[in-house]
Amino acid sequence: MSCESPGVRGRRSSRRARGQLTPTAGDDLYRNTEMQRLGAIHRLRPLILAGVLFIAATPASAATSHAKIWTALGNDLGCGVAIHPPGKPPTQVVCSDRTIPPPPHGVGYGDPGFVFLGAHGHPILARTTQDSFEGSNPVALTSGRTWSDLGITCTISTTTVRCVNRSAHGFTIGVHSYKPF
């Protein structure tokens, strides 16, 4: 039990708050403990920063797909690895959409609305009468996702899909448009 009266305790607390009392051994212990805690936080800062950067980078790497066949723009656009001769590696991506124009008159036969893109060179408009994709179970890619394979990268947004190859050629397919570059 303390010998101090409530009035004295109140005055001492208020004088200590104003910095008028000299620190006690307990105050030094508190100050040292606080400094140690702050030092530990400062030492952990690089580790915390690395963790935050790792977490921030994880969704970006998870956003890249390598699926053999995929859809985008509300399943209106279908793209994937183009079929190829047995025993030979795939070399092209093919996309199908109603906004892709037919090739020049007299070129090919079948349904219009297909474009092929290899790792190098310009996109090629085509007609086809068969399933031209290697895969059979499409993955739906949403805005913010990326598809990459065969030297071609396609970036999906809410209204467009932009595919570009190593030669910086490709195309952009929008909800109502097709533009090669």
Quote the number of domains for the chain: 2
User: Are 70 and 158 members of one domain?
Assistant: yes
Residue range 106-135: average pLDDT?
91
Q: Is residue 1 part of a domain?
A: no
Q: Is residue 129 part of a domain?
A: yes
User: Are 118 and 80 members of one domain?
Assistant: yes
Distance CA 103, CA 111 (A): 10
User: Are 38 and 70 members of one domain?
Assistant: no
User: Are 140 and 102 members of one domain?
Assistant: yes
pLDDT at 129: 81
- pTM (predicted TM-score): 0.66
Distance CA 92, CA 71 (A): 17
**Sign of the C-alpha dihedral computed for residues 138, 96, 133 and 158 taken in this order:** negative
Residue range 32-47: average pLDDT?
64
Task: Find the range with the poorest average confidence among 3-17, 39-53, 106-120.
Answer: 3-17
Split at pLDDT 50, 70, 90, the class of 118 is very high
